[in-house]
Structures are given as C-alpha cells and as structure tokens.
Amino acid sequence: MPLSPFALERYFAQHEFTARYLLSSSDCETLSQSDLLGMADTKTRLLWEHLRLGYTESPGHPLLRQEIANLCKTVWPDDVLVLAPEEGIFVAMNTLLQEGDHAIVMTPAYQSLYQIAESLRADVSRWQLETDGVRWKLDLTALARLVRPTTKLLIINVPHNPTGFHIDAETQEQIIQFAREKRLILFSDEMYRFSEYTAEMRLPAACDLYDQAITLGGLSKSFGLAGLRIGWLACKDRTIIRRFQRFRDYTTICNSAPAEILAAMALRSRDRILDRTRTIIENNLAAADQFFANHHRHFEWIRPMAGPVAFPRLKGTDSIDRFCEKLIQSKSVLLVPGSIFDFPDNHFRIGLGRRNLEEGLEKLGEFLVEHYV
C-alpha cells in the first residue's frame, strides 16, 4: 500500500524556512557547529581532526554506540544501531510488521508511528489520549480492550509529541508488564527523553526494562541537533538489532562520518547541553503560563507534563485550521493545527524549546487583538 503524505512534514516543508516566528517546533534551540566543537574533549577533537570521509561502520561508530549505551543501565554498544531517527521508525516497522499483524499506537502520534504500519497492511488500533481540559490522560484499561491474538507491537511515545503528556515509572512498569504478559514487542519512542522538567521525572529507557522493548532515541529534540540526523534503536535482543541492520542496508547503509563524531561530542557534553535545554524550556513554560492565563478567553491551556511541546485548544467557533492560516499570513507566526495530527477539536501544537518564544507570543497576542476582540 503506498504511503500517504506525511502531513506534519509537508506542513513544515511549506512554512519552516519562510515563517518568521516558529512557535510550533518540537526541536529545542539549535546548537551551532562551533558551539559543539568548543565542547570537544581531546579524544573527540582528535577524531574530528583526523576524520576520513569514507563509509562508516554500519551499526555506528564504536565510541558513539558506547556513549548511547551509557544513557541506559544494562545496554551494551552491540545492542545499539545508529541511524536517523525517522529512519529508525521506518526500519523497525518494516522489520517487525507484516500484513495481518496488529499494532496498537498511542494517539495522537507522530504520523510515521502508525502510517508505516498501515502501509504494510498491518491493522492499527489507536490508544487514545484524552483530556479533561486540564491535563492529558491515558487509560490502561482501554489498552487491555484493544489487544487481540494478532497484536504484535505496542507503540508508545513519552514524553509525548504533540501533547507534552508523560507517565510515571509505575505506569511505565504496568505497560511493560502488560506487553510481557501478552508477548508484545514494545516500541518506545523516547525522542523527547532528557527534556523532562525535573530529573525525578526521567524514566528508564524501556530497553533497560524488557528485552522485547526497543528504544528509539536521538539528538534532534532535547539536544538541539536535528541537523546531525543522528538517532538510534536500542534493544537487548540482538536478533532484533541484527534484523534491523539487515533492513538498514537498503536505506542509508551507514551514517554520515562527521555527524557521528559531532554526535559523540554532544553526548560526552550532555550535562551542559541538557542544562541549556532545561533552562530554555523552564523560562518558556513560565512565559506560556502567563500568556495563556492572560488569554484564557481564547484558549484552553493544557500544561505539558514534560518535553518541549504542548497541545492547547482554541475556544470559540473559528476552526483552528483557519486560525493558523490567518496567523501565518498576517504575522508570519507558525502554529501547527491539530488536524495535522488527525486530531479533532481545535487543538494546536506549541513548541517551548526555542529562544524566541516570547517574541512569537507577542505577535500572537497582537493577532488576537486585531482579529478576535
């Protein structure tokens, strides 16, 4: 079955490099190459200076895989395959699913988390996040109702894009226990790990807790390094990792050599980079709290629990699609309407990881005054 267009990526392709205020980005403020090189230690600096631009080791540079394994407790470098994050989803779904299999996907979702499964003619059920207007909730009893004898894969994403929903360690344990009992493979999209608001909220990588769990991680979001195109799949079942590797020979074969060394530099300086991310998000959250309190007549602010995105709701009768279109035309401010996530009810995604959020909010405030008073 052909793949449907990726609505979010097409929307960004149209606006990302022309809109002046990107108020909806999910990646955090980008680091420059010189920022990163300035953080290099002797080892990575030497690797950079002597770098040869040939093909690289297909699972990923050994030092980089070691640094990724260090983000987990019980994972070894050989349990890790380095690839672009989006490629990781494509490789995993194509390897694990075939026609007739059933997958359950936490929804709303980053489109490839369900679209690739559907294109493979797998049956996909949505495990729906719900809101009471104050916070997002996930019903574990609904998960039990969705499971079938053919269910092969459970796909989760926390911290969650686009809602900013997060779970606690006990809920993570319950989900893993459920997957274990039902013999499901758990695909855990952890692209927003490390952008929790406190250290206590950070969950273990799912691949540490269950040998049939696959963690998808990457440097695009919390690390502000989307342009490196470096992410990883980690799983303690090496037969799964080997299958991924065999499929990956048909996508990119291996990673960009400079990106791998820059990624290793970033992971070896992760405390500095992540402190910077947390400070930016913390300041932006305070600004967003204030903005939405001031404009409660127009918006329902559902405060995110973790990560750099939130999914508030526009009140009133105007559709969020029209609102976003008018906003970009009159103020060059980009917000992503919930329809792009195939989600009803006038929600929109706002990004909290960029330094110019307050300027964007100011423009949004002007727009409200000009069009909605």
* Piece of 82-90, 127-135, 196-204, 207-215 that binds ligand PLP (CB under 6 A): 82-90
Round the CA-based radius of gyration of the chain to a whole number and report it.
20
End-to-end CA distance of the chain: 47
* Interface positions, 314-333, toward ligand PLP (CB under 6 A): none
* AA letter at 278: R
Can you tell me which of 94, 95, 111, 157 binds ligand PLP, judged by CB under 6 A? 157
How would you class 344 by CB atoms within 10 Å of its CB: exposed for 0-12, middle for 13-18, buried for 19 or more? exposed
Residue 217 engages ligand PLP in binding (rule: CB under 6 A) = no
Q: State the DSSP code for 309.
A: E
Angle formed by the axes of helices 238-248 and 85-96, nearest 10°? 110
Can you tell me which of 24, 25, 26, 151 binds ligand PLP, judged by CB under 6 A? 26
Residue 95 engages ligand PLP in binding (rule: CB under 6 A) = no
CB of 352 to ligand PLP, least distance (A): 14
> 24-48 burial, b if ≥16 CB within 10 A, otherwise e?
bbbbbbbbeeebbeebbeeebeebb
Q: Which residues make Cβ contacts (< 8 Å) with residue 337, sequence separation at least 6?
A: 320, 321, 323, 324, 347, 348
Can you tell me which of 28, 92, 191, 333 binds ligand PLP, judged by CB under 6 A? 191
Residue 189 engages ligand PLP in binding (rule: CB under 6 A) = yes
* Piece of 98-106, 175-183, 199-207, 218-226 that binds ligand PLP (CB under 6 A): 218-226
Can you tell me which of 220, 222, 339, 346 binds ligand PLP, judged by CB under 6 A? 220
Residue 86 engages ligand PLP in binding (rule: CB under 6 A) = yes
CB of 259 to ligand PLP, least distance (A): 12
Q: How far apart are CA 341 and CA 335, in angstroms?
A: 13
* Piece of 17-25, 78-86, 94-102, 137-145 that binds ligand PLP (CB under 6 A): 78-86
CB of 51 to ligand PLP, least distance (A): 22
Residue 85 engages ligand PLP in binding (rule: CB under 6 A) = yes
Q: How far apart are CA 36 and CA 18, in angstroms?
A: 26
Which positions touch ligand PLP (CB under 6 A)? 26, 84-86, 110, 157, 161, 189, 191, 218, 220, 226
